[in-house]
Amino acid sequence: MQKNGKRCINLQKKYYFCNELCIYIKTFYRKE
């Protein structure tokens, strides 16, 4: 999915996060 020409990710196939929010969400939900 793309918004404003920038890449986005699909989190849990329910929510789409873009730009800085995408990075924040990926870090917040980071599980190793």
pLDDT, one tens digit per residue, over 1-32 is 445 545 556 666 555 555 566 666 666 666 65
Asked if 25 and 16 count as a contact pair (C-beta separation under 8 A), the reply is: no
* Domain positions in the chain: 1-32
CA-CA-CA-CA torsion sign (30, 5, 20, 11): negative
pLDDT attached to residue 14: 54
pLDDT attached to residue 31: 60
- Terminal C-alpha separation, the chain: 26
